[in-house]
Amino acid sequence: MEDIKDQEVVVSMPRIGDKAPEFKAITTQGDINFPSDYSGSWTILFSHPADFTPVCTSEFMTFATMEEKFEKANCKLVGLSIDGLYSHIAWLRTIKEKIEYKGMKDVEVKFPLIEDITMEVAKKYGMIQPNEDSTKAVRAVFFIDPQGIIRAIIYYPLSLGRNFDELYRVIIALQAADEFNIATPADWEPGDDVIIGPAGSCGTASDRMNDGELDCKDWFFCTKKLDKQTVLDRIIRK
């Protein structure tokens, strides 16, 4: 009989709608209790494979440059890799002092970067994908709402840098869906038409087809106007 100690422990990754797994961690901005320290704010928890790597460097510079934009959308950023704290500090200092990319330079990363040398947090969030790499976290992105619920998850392989405009779009779209009880169609941006949920009865479907405020292509596909300023006024902090 196989010794239980030799069996690999399988941890399922959290799913959309789950409570974000709790953890305490050391970061470049001090100790954190996650997600309780971020209650009341949206949070993006994201992992990267390793410090002192070029794709990760380009990503951190981009995120740091956009941090204020995310803050105005009530969204905080938290990074993670399985490197140690001193490696994190040295890497972030190098970014600020030496790296210039796409016109960005002297970039200071102010959001916390988690030390996870034991891989405890990375495993808890399913960030270690053994068929990609067993010792590095993939580029995972968890969108967590103010109640600590996971609302969206995006995963990228080690070789693929993320699109940070898309990450910002997701945060705005998730909040718009909550604020206005709507859904957002493909490629939605604030100011585009939004989708009304499917009708729950034949009567509702018939009424919708005659509703002057809705543009119904058929009973199940109805959109309405939602102007950009209305969306931003409800989501973006002045």
Beta carbons of 17 and 152 less than 8 angstroms apart: no
Give Cβ neighbours of residue 207 (< 8 Å, ≥ 6 apart). Answer: none
Question: How many other C-beta atoms lie within 10 A of the C-beta of residue 127?
Answer: 26
208 vs 196: CA distance, rounded Å: 10
For this structure, is 216 an active site residue? no
**Residue 157 in 3-state DSSP?**
coil
Rounded Cα distance between 98 and 101, Å, is 10
Q: Annotated binding residue at 139?
A: yes
Give residues with Cβ within 8 angstroms of 24, minimum separation 6: 31, 32, 33, 34
Annotated binding site: 139
Q: Which residues are catalytic?
A: 56
